[in-house]
Structure 1
Amino acid sequence: MSTDPDPPGDAASTLRTAPDATPEQRAARGRAARRGESFDRALTGFGEKYADRNELDHRALVDAVRAGRLPAARDV
């Protein structure tokens, strides 16, 4: 395990080194990323929840089209 708080390639270091970020913004992003749960885990958790919700929404859309509750065009 690395002792570097922000190993190269992690989301926090990517945000802090954004080319348009000022030094103050980089520092603030670094502090925020190190608070509580790690930024990477939080971002991963959000992505997983978003993907799960997207799957449910898509399933509901397909079901509605198949049941005739929602018109849809094919091969357009």
Structure 2
Amino acid sequence: MLVPMTYDQRYVDETTILVSDWQVSISSVGLAVVPKVGDIVSAGGVDYHVIDADPNNYDGVMNVILVVQERTTQ
């Protein structure tokens, strides 16, 4: 499951996070390939660079969700 969202304006500094960046939450359960910084992913015919990836691990054993910062390559 993917949940793309725009960043809340309070986090947009136009240096680390641009207004055009997307924050995408991805369920890590059963995920065959884990996106990492530097990867390029495609969605809806648009290519995105993975700028940051933050695995959320609540039990100390298994990543439950991966929060990825993505930026278009165009």
TM-score band, normalised by shorter chain: under 0.3
Q: Higher relative CO (CA 8 A, sep ≥ 6), structure 1 or 2?
A: 2
Larger relative helix fraction: 1
TM-score, with structure 2 as normaliser: 0.21
TM-score, with structure 1 as normaliser: 0.21
